[in-house]
Amino acid sequence: MQNFRFICPTDFIFGKDTENSVGEEIKKYGKRILLHYGGGHIKKNGLYDRIIRSLKANEIEYVELGGVKANPDVEMVREGIRLCREEKLDFILAAGGGSVIDSAKAIAMGVSYPGDVWDFFVGKAQIEEALPVGVILTIPATGSEASNTTVVTNSEGGHSKRAASGDNIKPVFAIMNPELTYSLPAYQTAAGGVDIFSHVAERYFTLEPDCGFTDRLCEATMKTVIGCLPEVLSHPQEYAGRAEIMWTGTIAHNGILGVGRSEDWGSHMLGHEITAFYGLTHGATLSIIIPNWMEYVYKTDVTRFVKYAVNVWNVENNMDHPEKTALEGIRRTRDFFRSVGMPVTLEEAGIDGDRIEEMAENCTKYGPVGGFVTLRKEDCMAIYEKSK
């Protein structure tokens, strides 16, 4: 186990009706807030009204910035930063899914930075301070409600979807009411589930040999997603399954499953390019890439892929032919993604693959990617080709 530092200070307020306490929670941190959200969904389902009621009851002033789209754009982040400065706001409430939260985090870290916020995403600046961000989560997927990361898209001068990280952008609280996810469409639910699963897989495939405890916690989390996601798709209004998926999303990405080990993240990098070039949903890029990435890299550590197959997928271990065990685990991964309605090839997602070289070029623009296996441009091309 490598030396590590881990902190997750987020205050989780989980369960039915918890959004009604949002004003009370915010009061501990600020008085004038940016209320940040996406499309009209929170207005249709009543969440917006409940938030406003709670803000007013607690005498919290608010400025609104709605309209965040999937794969939040740096332009809106800049607009948020401008608003926070002009209106002297001291807190950001993100009411939505990962895109809204990521946009809020990026705004939070940009307010006191004199340069352009995109600097953080290309390694030109480190996050020194940030406004506190609170969350009301409506889509379990990205784990952004407790992660130290934000992913933002920049369309200027080509396509770019990049991440920035820092412990001081971890949300101060996350209000998580599983009932708010009852109305999520099946596709979005499944895409979220794949994203959660992949956050664990990116950590599970590590070069670190002595981290059996965290491996077990990873396996427990992946098995829960495998068990619960089909349940939730069949019974979208059942609390138990929605609650399990919501909490796995947090544990998968708050950092606890990555302590003391190297992580990979190659599949995310490959997936981000597909989104940047074709606009495909994040979870759908992962359901395509992950099994292909696995098949491309498994020979570098067959033993770990055997462990994955046996402990996560209950594959019977073929001791004489461990590679067969490993491949069966990968096959079941792909079958699972397909079974919940997600694409497993680029073609199924309506993508022809003409821009594979461009994507591979862009993916490795700042150097090779991946911590478990290092992927250079030609590796990225090969994985995209396999994914056609």
Give the footprint of a second copy on this chain (CB under 8 A): 1-16, 18, 210, 212-214, 216-217, 219-221, 223-224, 227-228, 239-240, 243-244, 247-248, 251, 256, 259-260
With respect to a second copy, which residue has the nearer C-beta, 254 or 387?
254
CA dist list (Å): 230 to 337, 339, 358: 10, 8, 36
Least CB distance to a second copy at residue 46 (A): 19
Return the number of other C-beta atoms located less than 10 Å from residue 75's C-beta: 13
Least CB distance to a second copy at residue 248 (A): 6
Least CB distance to a second copy at residue 287 (A): 21
Least CB distance to a second copy at residue 196 (A): 11
With respect to a second copy, which residue has the nearer C-beta, 103 or 221?
221
Least CB distance to a second copy at residue 374 (A): 25
At 267, list the tokens. Answer: 């599949």
Least CB distance to a second copy at residue 6 (A): 5
Least CB distance to a second copy at residue 193 (A): 13
Least CB distance to a second copy at residue 217 (A): 5
With respect to a second copy, which residue has the nearer C-beta, 170 or 334?
170
Least CB distance to a second copy at residue 28 (A): 12
With respect to a second copy, which residue has the nearer C-beta, 223 or 355?
223
With respect to a second copy, which residue has the nearer C-beta, 117 or 257?
257
With respect to a second copy, which residue has the nearer C-beta, 249 or 291?
249
Return the number of other C-beta atoms located less than 10 Å from residue 319's C-beta: 8
Q: Would you call 182 helix, strand, or coil by DSSP?
A: coil
With respect to a second copy, which residue has the nearer C-beta, 222 or 297?
222
- Long-range pairs for 322-327 at CB < 8 Å and ≥24 separation? 323/298, 323/299, 326/298, 326/302, 327/295, 327/298
> Which residues are CB-contacts of 303 (< 8 A; sequence separation ≥ 6)?
322
Residues 119, 69: Cα–Cα separation, whole Å? 21
Sign, Cα dihedral of 180, 182, 183, 187:
positive
Residue owning tokens 């969350």:
135
Sign, Cα dihedral of 8, 273, 95, 169:
positive
Q: Please give the sequence-ordered ranges of beta strands (E in DSSP) within 74-183, or none if there are none.
A: 91-96, 133-137, 149-154, 160-165, 173-176
Residues 249, 224: Cα–Cα separation, whole Å? 11
Residues 192, 242: Cα–Cα separation, whole Å? 12
With respect to a second copy, which residue has the nearer C-beta, 17 or 59?
17
With respect to a second copy, which residue has the nearer C-beta, 57 or 240?
240
Q: Which amino acid is at 234?
A: S
Sign, Cα dihedral of 182, 186, 187, 191:
positive
Strand pairing report for 160-165 and 149-154 = antiparallel
With respect to a second copy, which residue has the nearer C-beta, 207 or 259?
259
At 334, list the tokens. Answer: 């792909």
Residues 201, 205: Cα–Cα separation, whole Å? 6
Least Cα distance to 296 among 218, 209, 373 occurs for: 373
Least CB distance to a second copy at residue 110 (A): 25
Least Cα distance to 120 among 74, 173, 76, 172 occurs for: 74
